[in-house]
Structure 1
Amino acid sequence: MSEIVTPRRPIVVAVWLIFAGVIGWWAAFSLTMERFHQLQNPGEAASCDFSVLVQCSTNLQSAQGAVFGFPNPIIGLGAWIAPIVVGAALLAGARFARWFWALFWFGFAFALTFVIWLIAQSLFVLSTLCPWCMVTWSVVIPSFFVVTLHVLREGVIPSVRVREVADRLFVWVPLMTIVAFAVVAMLAQVRLNVLAQF
């Protein structure tokens, strides 16, 4: 009698999605509250305004802070619920179809693209570093790596070789994240001379 093999639950992926979702949602909530405060108290500095360089106000009040006609953080309030729910479902033993993982990955691909654009706008146009925005960047970037490799491991691309490579690369997510953060930090230093501000 052959043994029934039960697919292992992706615990690390599930826990990360919940953690990243909570952190991302809190950053979006905090930025949304800051925007409400600005609207109620015009001209008053936000609580996350620490200096000319490190502040939220410039970003929130800019055109880049409301790309779709409403404050960007509102996107985060809705979007960050998805990884929390998916992570909880994975912990509960849920299995998702390939099309679901493809759509989930597309959401994170859009998030990463949007974050890269916002990073460029912050560094090269607005010349500021928004604290809560940076928190968002810090969870979107590794989440994209995690979701991409997990989706490939799940067989969205039906290739045994691709699944094997993705499985091997998964342990390198922390290093990939550090490299990505280092690139952003280097750009910030070159463009804004961050170290001279402290």
Structure 2
Amino acid sequence: MPDDRSTSRPTVMAVWLIIAGAVGWWAAFQLTLEKLHVLANPETNASCDFSVLVQCTANLTSPQGSVFGFPNPIIGLTAWMAPVVVGFALLAGARFARWFWWLFELGLTLALVFVVWLIAQSIFALGTLCPWCMATWAVTIPTFYVVTLHLLRSGILPASASVRRGAASLMKWVPLITFVSYAVIAAIAQIRLDALTNIFGGLFG
């Protein structure tokens, strides 16, 4: 059975969902504009192209940029509204059914899997770091952690008492866990792309 945390208002999580959703939506919106710009002006580069390494054009024009037959940012324009709506609803006192949270968790899990795949494609296949894509990565990862741990600690996701206690304890460590996740991605990018040399060499070389 859910404990008291499942019936109390998760205010911090609600605020984070609003912030993450807004950042993710804005990144998707900017990528959509860049995609339209590239389509209208094929001979020009996107405004977020800063170097061979840090750019949007290669990602937007690649097969990985339209996995489902249309530009990936369109997914973000629709999907990132969900955390915003859920966040405001929680602040307003809404209580969602268990099946709703399961679907929400499923959506976040699929989003994380998609983001991990896109990170791997950017680093290992395309050899680029897209600024707006990285903004999306940056909010997807902690959002998955926060919501998953909340659902585990509250008993909305089936778990033993020890798992619920562990999830509750881990919640305060989400910033550190997120930082470690970022550090792992940065380390892989550095090893694979020599990111620091390419970024700072392009700025000061």
2:7–2:95 Cα contact (<8 Å) kept = no
Distance 1:120 1:77 in 2: 22
The amino acid of 1:37's aligned partner reads H
The equivalent of 1:151 in structure 2 is 151
RMSD: 1.2
2:60–2:66 Cα contact (<8 Å) kept = yes
1:98–1:154 Cα contact (<8 Å) kept = no
Cα drift, residue 153 of structure 1: 2.2
Matches for 1:139-178 after TM superposition, within 5 Å: 139-155=139-155, 156-157=157-158, 159-178=160-179
Distance 2:73 2:87 in 1: 22
The equivalent of 1:3 in structure 2 is none
**Unpaired runs of 5+ in structure 1?**
1-5
TM normalised by structure 2 equals 0.91
The equivalent of 1:42 in structure 2 is 42
The equivalent of 1:194 in structure 2 is 195
Distance 2:127 2:86 in 1: 36
The amino acid of 1:115's aligned partner reads V
Matches for 1:114-129 after TM superposition, within 5 Å: 114-129=114-129
Matches for 1:104-123 after TM superposition, within 5 Å: 104-123=104-123
**Unpaired runs of 5+ in structure 2?**
1-5, 201-205
Structure 1 stretches of 4+ with a deviation exceeding 6 A read none
The equivalent of 1:59 in structure 2 is 59
Per-residue CA deviation, residues 5-59 of structure 1 (Å, 9 max, x unaligned), is: x942100000000000000000000000000011111121100000000000000
Cα drift, residue 164 of structure 1: 1.9
The amino acid of 2:85's aligned partner reads V
SS of 2:151's equivalent in the other structure is: helix
TM normalised by structure 1 equals 0.95
SS of 1:70's equivalent in the other structure is: coil
Per-residue CA deviation, residues 115-171 of structure 1 (Å, 9 max, x unaligned), is: 000000000000000000000000000001001101112312153333222111100
Cα drift, residue 184 of structure 1: 0.2
The equivalent of 2:183 in structure 1 is 182
2:11–2:90 Cα contact (<8 Å) kept = yes
Distance 2:102 2:86 in 1: 13
Percentage identity across paired residues of the two chains: 65
Distance 2:71 2:7 in 1: 42
Distance 1:40 1:181 in 2: 34
Per-residue CA deviation, residues 93-125 of structure 1 (Å, 9 max, x unaligned), is: 111121111111110100010000000000000
SS of 1:181's equivalent in the other structure is: helix
SS of 1:140's equivalent in the other structure is: helix
The equivalent of 1:94 in structure 2 is 94
1:152–1:163 Cα contact (<8 Å) kept = yes
- The count of corresponding residues between Structure 1 and Structure 2 is 193
Per-residue CA deviation, residues 39-90 of structure 1 (Å, 9 max, x unaligned), is: 1111211000000000000000000000000000000000000000000010
